Amino acid sequence: MNTLIISAILVVIIYLLVTEKIPVDLTGVGIMVVLVITGILTPEESVRGFAHPAVITVGAMFIISKGMMRTGVVAFIGQQVIRVSRGNLYVALILILITVAVSSAFINNTPVVVLFIPVVMTFCCEFGLSPSQFLIPVSYASILAGTCTLIGTSTNIIVSDLSAAAGYGSLSMFELSILGIPIAVLGIIFLLFASPRLMPSLRNPTCQFNDSEHRRYIAEVRIPSGSKLEGCDPSQVFSEKYPDLEVLELIRKSHIYHPDRDQTNIAEGDLILLKGSLNELVEILHHEAVELPLSEKGLSFGVDKDDTVVVELIILPQSTFLGQRLMETPLMSDPDIHVIAIKRNVLHFTEKQIYDVKLKNGDMILVWCKAAKLETMRAEAETDFIIVEDVYEELIHKRKSWFAVSIFLGFVVAASSGWADIMICALVASLLMVFTGCIQMRDAYKSLQGGVLLLIAGTIALGTAMEKTGTSRLYADALLSILVNSSPKVLLGGIILITSLSTQILSNSATAVLIFPIAASSALGLGVDPKPFIVGVCFGASACFATPIGYQTNLLVYGPGGYRFSDYLKMGIPLNALVLTLGVVFIPVIWPF
C-alpha cells in the first residue's frame, strides 16, 4: 500500500515541478506534509532533510559565492575571461566550460560551479545576453567531467570501495577516463550548440547594477594633516588608479581652483570636489588619505565593528527638505548618518560646496548609516525621501579580495583532499567570509535562496520514504526482472538506465549504494564479469541531468538562472541518452564481459 502511495505522490510531484502550478518551495513543504499525514514518515523523519549535509552545504555555498562577488574576485575573473576571449561570446563560453570541466575532474565540482555562476552572469551582462542560456551548461559540464577520474565525484570513490569490498577490485585513478573524456567532450559540444536554442532567454537582473553615468555622484573630500596626497597635482593624483574619476574643483579657503586650468598643488585642509561611482568614492575614502569634511574618521564600509550600509535617498516633491541647504537638514545632525555624496540630474550646482547645495525634487543623496537606522529612517521620513537600498549592491570591498581568495582556495583544497567533509569546509568558509568582512550578515541572509533549500529538504524526505518503504528497490527489481534473461549488453543498458532514473530523485551516493549489489548479482547470474556493470553504475549515477534535484550544482544554478523544472528536461534527457548510448556501446569494448 505504501508503495502505491509513494508512486502517486511521485507522479503528483513531477507534475507540479514541471508545470510549476505552485512555487517550488511550496512543493517541497507539501512533500513533507503529505508524507507525515499518510503515516509513511514520522514528523522527525520528514524534516530531517533540513539537517542534511546537502541543504547545509548548498546554503553555505550561496554565502561563499556572495562573498566572492562582494569583494570583486568574480568581477576580476569575468573581466579576464572577456579579455582573453577578445569579446567573442563562443570563445568565452568554451573557455569557461573547459575551465569548469578540467577543474571538476580533480576537485569537488560544487565550489567550481559556485565560483563560475557570477562569472557567467558578469560576461552575459557585458555581452547583453541572458545567463539562463548558459548556467545549466556550466552545471552539466562539471557533472560530465566528474566521471573522468576516480576523484572527480564522491560517487566514483564509493563504487570503487564497494567493488573492492566485494572482491571485484577497485578502480584506478584514470580508469574511467578512457570513456569519461569522450563523453565529456561530446557533451560539452552539445551544450555549446544546443543551449542558445533550447534554454530560455531571460533578463539578467545584475545588469541594472553596472556602474554607468546614471550612477555617478559628486562628493567632497578633505585633505587631513599628514596626508600622502599633499604636494600632488590634483589633476593627476587619481588618474592612474581611478581613470574614470574626475576632479572637478579644489577649494582652498575662499578660493576655487580648476585643476585643468589652474596650476596648484594639494595642501592640508583643501577640499576636493570629485565626480565618480560609488566604488571609486569608497575606495578613495579607504585608501587615499582623505576624509569626509563633516564626518567622523574611519567610517566602515564593510564588516568591522558595526553592520553598516550605503543607501541612496531620493528627495520627493512633497519633501520638507526642498529648498533647504544640505547642511541644515536632519541628515547632517544625526550621528548615525553620514553624507558621502550627492547627485543631481544635470550634475551642476551653483553653490561652492555640496553642503551648501539647496535641495531640489529628485536630488539623490548618498549616505552611510548603520543598518539598524534604516527602519527608523523609513518611519520618520515617508514623505521626505525614498530609500533605495539596491545601490549598496554596487559596493565592492576590493580591499578584502585577498581574504576571499584565500578562504575559497583553502575551502577547495580542504574539501578535495579529504581533510574534512565538504559540509564542514563550506560552513567554515562561509563563517570566515563574515568574520573577515568579505560579506555582511545581512547580505549573507539575503544570499540564501529559501525556495531552493526547501525543495532540497522536501526531495530528501521523498528519498527517505522511497528507501524506507522499499519503493526504489522495487522499481529497480521490476525493471531488471524484465531483462534478466536478456543479453549482457541489454542488461548493462538496463543497469545504466535504472541508475540514471534513480539518481534524478535520490542522491548519487544513495543510488550507487542501492544499485551496486543489484548490478553485481545480475552479472553473476548471467555468468559474466561484473566489472562492466560496476563501471555502468558509475556513469549512470552521475547522469543526473534531467532534473534540478538530481545534483546540488543543478540546484545552485536554479535560482540565478530563473529556470523552470522543464528547462532541465530539454537538455538533460539528450545528455542522459548520450551517456546511456555511449555506455552500452563502449563499456563492453573497454571492459569486456
- What pLDDT sits at residue 394? 55
Contact in structure between 552 and 503 (CB atoms under 8 Å) = no
Q: Label the pairing between strands 364-370 and 337-343.
A: antiparallel
Give 357-362 contacts, CB < 8 A, sequence gap 24+.
357/325, 357/326, 358/323, 358/324, 358/325, 359/315, 359/319, 359/321, 359/322, 359/323, 359/324, 359/325, 359/326, 359/329, 360/315, 360/322, 361/315, 361/316, 361/317, 361/319, 361/322, 362/314, 362/315
Domains of the chain in sequence order: 9-205+451-590 (no CATH), 225-296 (3.30.70.1450), 307-394 (3.30.70.1450)
Residue of 89, 107, 114, 190 whose CA lies nearest to 145: 107
Residue 177 phi, psi (nearest 5): -65, -30
Q: What is the pLDDT of residues 143-159, one digit of tens each?
A: 999 888 887 777 887 88
Average pLDDT over the chain reads 79
Q: What are the tens digits of pLDDT across the range 13-44?
A: 777 776 767 777 788 888 888 888 888 888 88
The amino acid that residue 329 corresponds to is T
Whose grid coordinates read 511521485? 10
pLDDT of residue 197: 84
Higher pLDDT: 278 or 250? It is 250
> Is a pLDDT exceeding 60 seen at residue 351?
no
CB atoms within 10 A of CB 549: 29
Q: Which three cell numbers stand for residue 592?
A: 569486456
Separation of alpha carbons 587 and 338, rounded Å: 67
Query: For 440, which DSSP code?
Result: -
Partnered with residue 255 across adjacent β-strands are 252
Cβ burial, residue 129 (10 Å; 0-12/13-18/19+): buried
- Show Cβ contacts of residue 51 under 8 Å, excluding neighbours closer than 6 positions: none
DSSP code per residue over 207-256: GGGS--GGGEEEEEEE--TT-TTTT--TTTTTTTT-TT-EEEEEEETTEE
Angle (nearest 5°) at CA 144 between 62 and 135: 40
Residue 376 has pLDDT above 50, yes or no: yes
